[in-house]
Chains A and B, each alone.
Chain A
Amino acid sequence: MNSRISTSPIVIVANKELRDSLRNRWVLFMGSLFLLLSLSITFAGSAVRGEFVLPALTQLMSNLSTVSVFIIPLAAILLSYDSFIGEQESGTLLLLLTYPISRTQILIGKLIGHSVVMMITISCSFGLTAILLYFVSGKYDAIELLNAFVVFITSSYLLAAYFIVLGYIVSLSVTEKAKAVAGLLFLWFLFVLVYDLLFLAILVADFSFVGERVTHVLIALNPTDLYRAINVINLDDTNASVFFVNDVTLNKGVMYLVTAAWVGCLTAVSLKIFKYKH
């Protein structure tokens, strides 16, 4: 035994998860996909209208967030769906539980590892897009561009973290990997597509009970809507999927906090489930 080695078990687990994701080329694959999408939207988004011009910054961020709200949760789900059920099936979860590491440390270690993986992927792909955009176009103000992408990347981290932890909850609650995938795809469908459509329908129907407070609550209840709101609020955009936020008076900081609170709540729930898992 050696007393000089005292790296935290959380760091050891996080490091292993990061190494695992780098080794199976997940980061490379997802990073390339994000980059391809963001470059396509940025540089070729106007082609559908028969022209080839770079969009205004507000328009660009709106377009990027509209696409990434689908793809980032999906990537996070793919990363986390087998975190626990996969280790359970391979026997390593049982083994880990016999080691001097608590269940909380295992879960937090995984969360940090997977969050870092998503941060690398998101930062590299969207960061490179921002850099290319600045140098190639020469059209955007550096500060505005930086500000817009910092908001976009930060909110993307939070959205990814939310779906990573959602993946843990499902992974801890099912008995097979296939069930985890099916369950998470259902939740993805629910949060990303169905909820948003129902929300828009309620707004469009203009029910009398839907005031500003109800709108805020409905946005706060779903982190994907918070993500959309953070990225398109105050933007001069008439895109159908985002026009509702023109009336939203929620503070961006509050929306960040609410999204972070969702991540915290789901982490607490997953810890509770893990604690009672045999």
Chain B
Amino acid sequence: MSHSLAVCQSQPIVSLTDVCLQFGDFAALTKVDFEIFPGQTLALLGHNGAGKSSLIKLILGLYQPTRGQINIADKKQLNLGYLPEDVSFYDKLTGKEVLSYFAALKQVNPSKVNQLIEEFELGYAQHRPLKTYSKGMKQRLGVAQAILSEPQVLLLDEPTVGLDPQASQFLYKKIDQLKHQGCAVVVCTHELAMIEQHLDRAFLMAKGHKLASGTLSELRKLSGLNTHITMTAIEQRIKGDRYLQSLCRDNALEVGTNQRDEMIKYLVATKNITDFNVLEPSLMDVYRYFMRQVFELETSAATVQPSRTDTPLFQQLLRYFKPQVGKGHYE
């Protein structure tokens, strides 16, 4: 990989501004702002039909935006790598033939094919037809295909779907390596627990709109979800402290993500408690929160109020989704 971490990570390599994509009456994307930074892994999240694939196809240049702008850093031809969802390649050809075919189309040196076959541990099966490959082997070949030309941006659509944990771990290890070499990686996935360990930023979508984006901690703050602090014999240890008792639910202290650091300092300073566990909202919790807000807006009649109507997020969601109440569903 030719790119290094020295690449300025504060400059987006691709940015979409106010992008709309319309197919007849159907709005696939509406006023989406999106940025990809070099040396970062971005998780593209959303329900089925949220517009993730449309967004990827826009970046790939397969669609042209109906409105808005797509800007590429350096104004040069962007070197992209892509792995479509559930791609099955050519069953009759061998692994090496398939990789050589795509390498030839990208005018990549054949030695790169051999190197990637070894790197992705496919050497023992390189002369076998693809119909004899397992799902994990095909996905490894798919990722190898995507990074043939040492891309600046790597777009992976559901790269780990149907893979066993070991195979998924292998792919994410490779993704991390590429990221550290300066590649901007976009992973579109529903396997949130898996990607949580590897993402730098997440981009949440629903019904063609951007819901939120940022680092996981930024999204936690935006959601307002609580952090749970657990410890042994909690009731005895906070006895007499009415402030801590007011925060205690289900044998854990519930504090807002913003107050977490203060609470830890307080526990250490005033109670001399250091053996506690901090359970922050997971990516799944954050995702569910955002999707629930959308769902509540969609299903609620004027008389039924969603749970948190006072937050800026709710107001933002209201602006996006209120006109479409009653349409669509979320999984």
Q: Which residue of chain B lies nearest to A24 when distances are taken between CB atoms in the complex?
A: B92
A19 and B88 contact, CB distance less than 8 A: no
**Cβ-neighbour of A9 out of B105, B145, B150 (below 8 A):** B105
Q: Which residue of chain B lies nearest to A9 when distances are taken between CB atoms in the complex?
A: B105
Instruction: Please tell me if B33 contacts chain A, counting CB pairs below 8 Å.
Output: no
With A24-B92, A94-B62 as given contacts, are A1 and B84 in contact (CB-CB < 8 Å)?
Answer: no
A1 and B109 contact, CB distance less than 8 A: yes
- Within the complex, the shortest CB–CB distance from B175 to chain A, in Å, comes to 18
User: Inside 8 A of B106's CB, which chain A residues have their CB?
Assistant: 99-100
**Cβ-neighbour of B108 out of A2, A23, A90, A94 (below 8 A):** A2
Instruction: Please tell me if B149 contacts chain A, counting CB pairs below 8 Å.
Output: yes
Contacts between chains A and B (CB distance < 8 A), count: 72
Contact with A along B105-119 (1 / 0, CB 8 A): 111111000000000
User: Inside 8 A of A98's CB, which chain B residues have their CB?
Assistant: 60-62, 80, 82
Instruction: Please tell me if A95 contacts chain B, counting CB pairs below 8 Å.
Output: yes
Q: Which residue of chain B lies nearest to A25 when distances are taken between CB atoms in the complex?
A: B92
User: Inside 8 A of B105's CB, which chain A residues have their CB?
Assistant: 9, 12-13, 96, 99-101
A92 and B108 contact, CB distance less than 8 A: no
Question: How would you classify the secondary structure of chain B's contact residues: helix, strand, loop or mixed?
Answer: loop
Instruction: Please tell me if B86 contacts chain A, counting CB pairs below 8 Å.
Output: yes
> Which one of B96-104, B192-200, B207-215, B251-259 is at the A interface?
B96-104
User: Inside 8 A of A12's CB, which chain B residues have their CB?
Assistant: 101, 104-105
User: Inside 8 A of B97's CB, which chain A residues have their CB?
Assistant: 19
Determine which residue in A3, A13, A99 has the highest number of CB atoms from chain B within 10 A of its CB, and name it.
A99
- Within the complex, the shortest CB–CB distance from A48 to chain B, in Å, comes to 40
Report how far A5 CA is from B108 CA in the complex, Å: 7
Contact with B along A9-22 (1 / 0, CB 8 A): 10011001001100
B108 and A1 contact, CB distance less than 8 A: yes
Instruction: Please tell me if A211 contacts chain B, counting CB pairs below 8 Å.
Output: no
- Within the complex, the shortest CB–CB distance from B25 to chain A, in Å, comes to 16
Report how far A128 CA is from B97 CA in the complex, Å: 32
Instruction: Please tell me if B27 contacts chain A, counting CB pairs below 8 Å.
Output: no
**Cβ-neighbour of A91 out of B87, B104, B149 (below 8 A):** B87
Q: Which residue of chain B lies nearest to A6 when distances are taken between CB atoms in the complex?
A: B107
A90 and B87 contact, CB distance less than 8 A: yes
Residues of B in contact, count (CB < 8 Å): 30
B104 and A7 contact, CB distance less than 8 A: yes
Instruction: Please tell me if B85 contacts chain A, counting CB pairs below 8 Å.
Output: yes
Report how far A100 CA is from B105 CA in the complex, Å: 7
Instruction: Please tell me if B90 contacts chain A, counting CB pairs below 8 Å.
Output: yes
Instruction: Please tell me if A97 contacts chain B, counting CB pairs below 8 Å.
Output: yes
B107 and A2 contact, CB distance less than 8 A: yes
A5 and B109 contact, CB distance less than 8 A: yes
A90 and B93 contact, CB distance less than 8 A: no
User: Inside 8 A of A13's CB, which chain B residues have their CB?
Assistant: 105
Contact with B along A204-238 (1 / 0, CB 8 A): 00000000000000000000000000000000000
Query: Could you tell me which residues of chain A, from 111 to 157, have a CB within 8 Å of some CB in chain B?
Result: none
With A1-B108, A2-B108 as given contacts, are A92 and B92 in contact (CB-CB < 8 Å)?
Answer: no
User: Inside 8 A of B149's CB, which chain A residues have their CB?
Assistant: 1
Determine which residue in B80, B82, B92, B145 has the highest number of CB atoms from chain A within 10 A of its CB, and name it.
B92
A90 and B89 contact, CB distance less than 8 A: yes
User: Inside 8 A of A91's CB, which chain B residues have their CB?
Assistant: 84-88
User: Inside 8 A of A100's CB, which chain B residues have their CB?
Assistant: 105-107
B84 and A94 contact, CB distance less than 8 A: yes
Query: Could you tell me which residues of chain A, from 1 to 50, have a CB within 8 Å of some CB in chain B?
Result: 1-3, 5-7, 9, 12-13, 16, 19-20, 23-24
- Within the complex, the shortest CB–CB distance from A176 to chain B, in Å, comes to 16
With A2-B108, A6-B107 as given contacts, are A95 and B82 in contact (CB-CB < 8 Å)?
Answer: yes
Report how far A91 CA is from B85 CA in the complex, Å: 7
Q: Which residue of chain A lies nearest to B88 when distances are taken between CB atoms in the complex?
A: A90
B93 and A5 contact, CB distance less than 8 A: no
User: Inside 8 A of B90's CB, which chain A residues have their CB?
Assistant: 16, 20, 90, 92
User: Inside 8 A of B107's CB, which chain A residues have their CB?
Assistant: 1-3, 5-6, 100
Q: Which residue of chain B lies nearest to A7 when distances are taken between CB atoms in the complex?
A: B104
Report how far A20 CA is from B91 CA in the complex, Å: 9
Contact with B along A73-109 (1 / 0, CB 8 A): 0000000000000000011101111111100000000
A99 and B102 contact, CB distance less than 8 A: yes
With A2-B108, A12-B105 as given contacts, are A92 and B93 in contact (CB-CB < 8 Å)?
Answer: no
Extra contacts besides A1-B108, A5-B110, A98-B61 (20): CB < 8 Å? A1-B149, A3-B107, A5-B107, A6-B107, A12-B104, A13-B105, A16-B93, A19-B97, A20-B90, A91-B84, A92-B88, A94-B62, A95-B82, A98-B60, A98-B62, A98-B80, A99-B102, A100-B106, A101-B105, A278-B63
Which residues from chain A sit less than 8 Å from chain B, CB to CB? 1-3, 5-7, 9, 12-13, 16, 19-20, 23-24, 90-92, 94-101, 278
Q: List 17 A-B contacts (CB under 8 A).
A: A1-B109, A5-B107, A7-B104, A9-B105, A19-B97, A23-B92, A23-B93, A90-B87, A90-B88, A91-B85, A92-B87, A94-B62, A95-B82, A97-B60, A98-B60, A98-B61, A101-B105
Chain A to chain B: the 6 pairs with minimum beta-carbon distance, closest first: A91-B87, A2-B109, A90-B88, A23-B92, A91-B84, A12-B104
